[in-house]
Structure 1
């Protein structure tokens, strides 16, 4: 039989977060693992009710009450808990009644965070989607190259026939954009890793894409920036990154139906794994819009080619963006709810040639 002091020592050294609630469901104590998980000290948390400790977690509140009243253990999977400071975590939890001599003395709540496991699974799915998308895109790229060459040739012939040289500005735009798309297609058809990369300021690319979006007709989108000036130049292909960001931002504009707000935020992420490879530093680019959000049945499939919620959409923009970012060792993720959709681009910050 272990002593109370030994039991406390064991509890303090567990890696699982453990919280002990009194019968009235106010917190009696919690171990250091729980303090770390909930980002709150025992001094701050002890004495709080379960509703105060986990606001907006009604399902958890009801489960604790059921265990207290019916005296049986409950296990819940994938529970989302809202913490102090508006942070949200996903956990598996086990709830156990504490019974001494037939009397209920409290309820134990064990929490195990699973965000990282979920993220790894989601990342693996995205990489599989990207591989499927790449195969489709390569086939489409071959089909697009021929009419694109014809378009460029027709623009050149038209430029020769125009009587007014000032009008050639428009044919020059057609030829220039055809050449840019031709270069992009050629690079998409090359084996992965072969690209025209150079040290590039990612913020300049974001500004350029924003200018393109803002100049498009019938678009009244407010674009806000929150840049981290400490992000150094990244080793990437500017044309590919422009196209990837353009596809993502046009997707946001279409979701907003021409009216709304897009926020672009850049940050540095330290010590993170991506695609099975550990990186000391990653650049994070968040493209956030306040549109209606993505339908739940589509959110896990939006990076597949030909998946779209719009009748006039092709369903290629996001799959192409994912392919282009993946060629830089990066990944695009998405979270969405009504009024808040975020596309996150992760880019390794290593500057050596890969």
Structure 2
């Protein structure tokens, strides 16, 4: 009776013997660990699943001390090579039986990260708009004063200085406008994301012919509602950022993978979407420095001496206007930016 009850639980449950060999697991555990009960029964669990905190040692400790043990946010590596974050509890039932319960945490952790990212982005947006307003007002006054001064100056050498003032004021104004980006979608319409990616690939290929592009597209993806020019700009910013990082690091055989996939029943922030388009840009560059990962999408933050620090910030703002977001995972040799866009959206 108890076994039948556990088979219907959504919590993953495993039963181990005193040698930490698997006796039984419910369907939820099979799905979570990507294991078939019929194939792994009788095999030691530590040989099937690896963890950063040595899961075999912790199981043996619970068995030997005959005391329940709970581990929070344990990082498991599955036989498929996939990584999984779980909370698990080991409860000794007898000298020869251990009950193990696992609760996945990846989705909750990702939702928490996304909500924090969206909150930071909204805060930055409010601060940036306030700062832009305060900056653009005196810039207009400086520009007007320089133009009036130029009219009263007869000396051509002096008017050259006033023209420099006007040009530099215009440059600062354009920089502020670029930091803010457009307030809303200009022309939301059905568009093919692969057409957008091909446009980006063509532009970057002309600028950097040494980069090899690999396309891994999902042809079944439906059209999404969006602003084509803004999405081209957002993806182009991410692609250029990746290519420039590879070029400056002197990577041999720089490669950028353009990949699309559909994600079903996917949560962005606190909202669950039936279908989401995932666009991945994966490069083989040096990776993002650890100290920049938390502030990567902040305006004016750049890891490059020549960088303005606006490209990724603008890209994230564009994705937010499409009710999506950008995620990033990076390590030396592989950096992946994932652009996630709901395929059923209502834009302002």
TM-score (normalised: structure 1): 0.78
Match among 257, 261, 270 for residue 267 of structure 1: 261
Alignment of 1:19-30 (within 5 A): 19-30=14-25
Q: Which residue of 1 aligns with 2:198?
A: 207
* SS of residue matched to 1:96: strand
Q: Which residue of 2 aligns with 1:118?
A: 109
The answer as to 2:287 corresponding to 1:293 is yes
Q: Which moved more, 1:57-66 or 1:104-113?
A: 57-66
Quick one: structure 1 residues 76 and 298, their matched pair in 2 at CA, closer, same or farther if it must change by over 3 Å?
Answer: farther
State the 1:120 CA deviation: 1.0
Q: Contact 1:20–1:107 (CA<8 Å) still a contact in 2?
A: yes
Q: Contact 2:179–2:299 (CA<8 Å) still a contact in 1?
A: no
How far does the alpha carbon of each residue in 1:64-84 deviate from its partner, in whole angstroms, 9 at most, with x for none? 122223333221111121223
How far does the alpha carbon of each residue in 1:222-270 deviate from its partner, in whole angstroms, 9 at most, with x for none? 1111111222332211221111111111221133235321111111122
Count of residues in correspondence between the two structures: 311
Q: Contact 2:34–2:80 (CA<8 Å) still a contact in 1?
A: no
Q: Contact 2:324–2:341 (CA<8 Å) still a contact in 1?
A: yes
Quick one: structure 1 residues 235 and 140, their matched pair in 2 at CA, closer, same or farther if it must change by over 3 Å?
Answer: farther
Q: Which residue of 2 aligns with 1:234?
A: 224
In structure 2, how many angstroms separate the alpha carbons of the residues matched to 1:136 and 1:249? 27
State the 1:186 CA deviation: 8.6
State the 1:285 CA deviation: 0.3
In structure 2, how many angstroms separate the alpha carbons of the residues matched to 1:248 and 1:190? 18
Extract unaligned runs of 5+ from structure 1: 1-5, 151-177
Q: Which moved more, 1:113-122 or 1:274-283?
A: 274-283
State the 1:325 CA deviation: 0.9
- Alignment RMSD: 3.0
Extract unaligned runs of 5+ from structure 2: 144-169
The answer as to 2:273 corresponding to 1:279 is yes
The answer as to 2:36 corresponding to 1:46 is no
In structure 2, how many angstroms separate the alpha carbons of the residues matched to 1:70 and 1:58? 18
The answer as to 2:89 corresponding to 1:94 is yes
Q: Which residue of 2 aligns with 1:60?
A: 55
Q: Contact 2:51–2:74 (CA<8 Å) still a contact in 1?
A: no
Q: Which residue of 2 aligns with 1:306?
A: 300
Quick one: structure 1 residues 314 and 74, their matched pair in 2 at CA, closer, same or farther if it must change by over 3 Å?
Answer: farther
* SS of residue matched to 2:63: helix
* SS of residue matched to 1:203: helix
* SS of residue matched to 2:54: helix
Alignment of 1:1-354 (within 5 A): 6-55=1-50, 57=52, 59-99=54-94, 104-135=95-126, 137-138=128-129, 185=177, 191=183, 193-216=184-207, 220-257=210-247, 259=251, 260-350=254-344, 354=348
State the 1:203 CA deviation: 1.2
Q: Contact 1:225–1:265 (CA<8 Å) still a contact in 2?
A: yes
In structure 2, how many angstroms separate the alpha carbons of the residues matched to 1:272 and 1:38? 20
Q: Contact 1:187–1:195 (CA<8 Å) still a contact in 2?
A: no
Quick one: structure 1 residues 30 and 305, their matched pair in 2 at CA, closer, same or farther if it must change by over 3 Å?
Answer: same
